[in-house]
Chain A
């Protein structure tokens, strides 16, 4: 068990790949935004890569451990200290009963992951422990951690002193610019050629009006192909309106002129086009970026995106541990 002394800005229980199989009722998967860092944290402490752990956003929590265990921190650097002594990232660390882990604001990156040997053992909801904040389900009674929460942890036998090799860690950028892979589609043919070139060459700034449902981007205006304006009225009258349809996770959803990347807690359906989709293996970059930072999109093929996901899965394994 661990006790929440300070909750941090928004610290939540998540597992990977999250709540799968309920998209047709409108339930998003939730789960960690940077699943690369998340899975490696679990591997470090001897858990399955998808076991439940904590996602800390922007400002980490202060936690007290009620028994001896092994933990690992990955992802963003939140200057974690255990009883005042710095805790290294990307390494499994022994913790004694009564010790306090104190974390601060994110320095490099945005989201830090905490895995605990055995994994967090809150009650699963529809097959997953992931927190879906907006609907109040999963995790600790459907919410982010609050001061005073006692978070249950399953029994586990982790080993301290294990490290993720440098080449297996996500290269978190600190220059406020991110190159993000996208695949064309499903609705890239609604954008004219100039609009497509503009999307792929422009600087897109991540808006502060972003959260785990969607990442809003500020950038140039979009221009459209004729099919966006010559269409039956039930599509709606804006060029980016389409008859409501299912949204892929990662879709770059064009709400009027505002592109919104639909992330882990995003909507499953709606009436806007999705000209591009961020593939699963590029999600970690979204998770580690901050509002105000710049995205540049780089188009890759579906098979390249699938190869990236395979490579990442292989990386999130024992082979990356030294």
Chain B
């Protein structure tokens, strides 16, 4: 559901959360990204920074410069000026990543979690496949790798992309870990709710994990030209395609990354048209899985 009126909620003395709706769709993400841009363009006084996400936006504000109520009024005014999303066309790069699905590294992290924290935990790939009515881990790989992913926002960790499957036939959902894992290998691909993420570094985490990429997605030392503009590889509006590879191929790419010869596989000339995307989706039989 997209709300008729956005919902405003306080987070302590310095934060406001604006929720645009109660579901994951691109419309809501365009609204969040659009509002973030409008705040910057309008130099709204007292806004320190924003963090747009799938269906919401967090605002960090300075209460000595703007009150909570004034900020709420100002945001309402800006949201009203945003146009319909059908008109939106965005520069959108497409990244291809060699991806080892059902790999030994995420398996080791799950085994460690099972041994130390929750012995009841079922293997993530089998668990997610079962919950989504798929035949098993192999079909999960086919479905998960069968779509492009939309980078809706960055967060949780520097450079970590929160992504949405663009092909509705590949949308799968999963609960998060309870309690969370204390560690996850760098480059792990995982999902929670309906979002897919890549862990930029080894961190704690709550997503179900079943794949790994050998390619860095953030680099504070900027060792590759891919990081010239930012130490984070992605920008909102980028797309990602996971290409299944064997462990041997994964390790080969890992060596290329280590010796500096790896070239990022990225398509840079495309634009993403919201109207064209919507008309493509309208013609799909959403009940069919790959």
Which A residues fall within an 8 A CB radius of B?
20-27, 125, 134-137, 142, 183-187, 209, 213, 231-238, 241-251, 255-258, 267-272, 274, 277-281, 302-303, 305-306, 308-310
Which B residues fall within an 8 A CB radius of A?
1, 9-15, 17, 19, 22-24, 36, 48-58, 60, 63-64, 68, 131, 153-160, 162, 171, 173-180, 182, 192-195, 201, 203-204, 206, 220, 230, 232
Query: In whole Å, how far is B44's beta carbon from the nearest beta carbon of chain A?
Result: 15
Kindly state the separation between the CA atoms of A28 and B193 in the bound complex, as whole angstroms. Answer: 24
Q: Pick the contact of B155 from A24, A256, A281 — CB < 8 Å?
A: A24
Say yes or no: A20 contacts B154, CB within 8 Å: no
Say yes or no: B206 contacts A186, CB within 8 Å: no
Query: In whole Å, how far is A261's beta carbon from the nearest beta carbon of chain B?
Result: 11
Say yes or no: B58 contacts A135, CB within 8 Å: no
Say yes or no: A255 contacts B56, CB within 8 Å: no
| Chain B residue, CB-CB nearest to A250 | B12
Say yes or no: B175 contacts A186, CB within 8 Å: no
Residues of B within 8 A of A309 (CB): 13-14, 63
Q: A24-B50, A24-B153, A246-B58 are in contact. Are A186 and B11 (CB under 8 A)?
A: yes
Residues of A within 8 A of B54 (CB): 243-245
Centre residue among A134, A213, A233, A258 by max chain B CB count within 10 A:
A233
Query: In whole Å, how far is A89's beta carbon from the nearest beta carbon of chain B?
Result: 28
Say yes or no: B58 contacts A137, CB within 8 Å: no
Residues of B within 8 A of A25 (CB): 154-155, 158-159, 230, 232
Kindly state the separation between the CA atoms of A142 and B177 in the bound complex, as whole angstroms. Answer: 29
Query: In whole Å, how far is B55's beta carbon from the nearest beta carbon of chain A?
Result: 5
| Chain A residue, CB-CB nearest to B206 | A255
Q: A27-B158, A234-B24, A245-B53 are in contact. Are A274 and B11 (CB under 8 A)?
A: yes
Query: In whole Å, how far is A237's beta carbon from the nearest beta carbon of chain B?
Result: 4
Say yes or no: B155 contacts A236, CB within 8 Å: no
Say yes or no: A234 contacts B194, CB within 8 Å: yes
Residues of A within 8 A of B1 (CB): 232
Say yes or no: B176 contacts A238, CB within 8 Å: yes
Query: In whole Å, how far is A269's beta carbon from the nearest beta carbon of chain B?
Result: 3
Say yes or no: B175 contacts A236, CB within 8 Å: yes
Say yes or no: A280 contacts B14, CB within 8 Å: yes
Kindly state the separation between the CA atoms of A258 and B51 in the bound complex, as whole angstroms. Answer: 24
Say yes or no: B193 contacts A310, CB within 8 Å: no
Residues of B within 8 A of A278 (CB): 12
Residues of B within 8 A of A20 (CB): 48-49, 60
Residues of B within 8 A of A244 (CB): 53-54, 153, 155-156, 162, 192-193, 195
Q: Pick the contact of A236 from B171, B174, B180 — CB < 8 Å?
A: B174
Centre residue among A21, A209, A231, A238 by max chain B CB count within 10 A:
A238
Residues of B within 8 A of A269 (CB): 51, 53, 153, 155-156, 162
The 8 closest A-B pairs by CB, nearest first: A246-B58, A256-B178, A248-B11, A269-B155, A277-B12, A248-B15, A234-B194, A186-B9
Residues of A within 8 A of B203 (CB): 134
Q: A135-B220, A213-B204 are in contact. Are A281 and B159 (CB under 8 A)?
A: no
Q: Pick the contact of A137 from B13, B155, B220 — CB < 8 Å?
A: B220
Q: A268-B58, A268-B156 are in contact. List 17 more A-B contacts (CB 8 A).
A: A24-B49, A24-B153, A25-B158, A186-B10, A187-B9, A237-B174, A238-B176, A243-B23, A244-B156, A246-B17, A248-B60, A251-B11, A255-B180, A258-B180, A269-B53, A277-B12, A302-B13
Query: In whole Å, how far is B270's beta carbon from the nearest beta carbon of chain A?
Result: 23
Residues of B within 8 A of A274 (CB): 11
Kindly state the separation between the CA atoms of A269 and B11 in the bound complex, as whole angstroms. Answer: 13
Query: In whole Å, how far is A257's beta carbon from the nearest beta carbon of chain B?
Result: 7
Q: Could you name 7 residue pairs across A and B whose Cβ atoms are closer than 8 Å? A: A24-B50, A135-B158, A186-B11, A213-B204, A232-B24, A236-B175, A248-B12
Q: Pick the contact of B9 from A22, A23, A185, A250 — CB < 8 Å?
A: A185
Query: In whole Å, how far is B235's beta carbon from the nearest beta carbon of chain A?
Result: 10
Kindly state the separation between the CA atoms of A125 and B156 in the bound complex, as whole angstroms. Answer: 19
Query: In whole Å, how far is B150's beta carbon from the nearest beta carbon of chain A?
Result: 13
Query: In whole Å, how far is A191's beta carbon from the nearest beta carbon of chain B?
Result: 13
Residues of B within 8 A of A246 (CB): 17, 51-53, 56-58, 155
Centre residue among A186, A237, A309 by max chain B CB count within 10 A:
A186
Q: A135-B201, A231-B22, A255-B180 are in contact. Are A248 and B58 (CB under 8 A)?
A: yes
| Chain A residue, CB-CB nearest to B17 | A186
